[in-house]
């Protein structure tokens, strides 16, 4: 099963490289739990919609991934996304460690870990550099990400 789970992770990131959110979402169970520092925790359709939103808005996007590993229950990967942050036009290089849990041949948990302060410095410039480490900015980033997701979902 670990070979199948490694193949599933590879399939997920190859779909991401193509900006194919439907193929990415197909790798998830219907009740998937996703989390990262920007969006917090998302469940089910919200996780798939996050990928639909991000892939539909991607500008100057590229993605690499490596260190794919898996066993019967869990797995992980390292990935780096490079893109233009739409709100500022700044280039972001986001270096991420992903952790997965599998159930019935699909991903039922996906947790991405990255340095939000480093992301904020790149995405927000001086404001992110000076204040990106504070709970105020971290909470504002999460609120803005969630607001964007809700607006995207309302427009579908």
**What's the rounded Cα separation, in Å, for the pair 124 and 132?**
8
Query: What does the pLDDT read at residue 15?
Result: 98
What is the DSSP secondary-structure string of 88-156?
TTEEEEEEEEEEEEEETTEEEEEEEE--HHHHHHHHHTHHHHHHTTSHHHHHHHHHHHHHHHHHHHHT-
Residue 105, both tokens: 């041949």
Which pLDDT does position 10 carry in this prediction?
A: 98
Tell me the pTM.
0.89
Indicate the fold that domain 1-138 takes in CATH.
Answer: Nuclear Transport Factor 2; Chain: A, (3.10.450)
Beta strand pairing call for 28-36 and 106-113: parallel
Q: pLDDT truncated to tens, each residue of the chain (156 aa)? A: 589 999 999 999 999 999 999 999 999 999 999 999 999 999 999 999 999 999 999 999 999 999 999 999 999 999 999 999 988 899 999 999 999 999 999 999 999 999 988 998 898 886 665 555 556 667 777 788 888 899 999 987
Distance CA 142, CA 146 (A): 6
């Amino acid at each position: 099963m670990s070979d199948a789970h490694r193949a599933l992770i590879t399939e997920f990131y190859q779909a991401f490289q193509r900006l194919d959110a439907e193929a990415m979402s197909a790798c998830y169970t219907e009740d998937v739990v996703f989390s990262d520092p920007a969006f917090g925790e998302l469940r089910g359709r919200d996780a798939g919609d996050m990928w639909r939103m991000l892939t539909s808005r991607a500008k100057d996007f590229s993605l690499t991934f490596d260190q794919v590993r898996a066993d019967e229950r869990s797995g992980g990967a390292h990935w780096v996304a490079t893109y233009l942050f739409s709100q500022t036009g700044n280039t972001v290089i986001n270096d991420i460690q992903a952790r997965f849990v599998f159930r019935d041949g699909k991903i039922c948990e996906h947790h991405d870990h990255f340095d939000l302060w480093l992301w904020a410095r790149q995405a927000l410039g001086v404001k992110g550099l000076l204040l990106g480490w504070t709970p105020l900015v971290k909470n504002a980033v999460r609120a803005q990400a969630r607001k964007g997701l809700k607006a995207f979902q309302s427009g579908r």
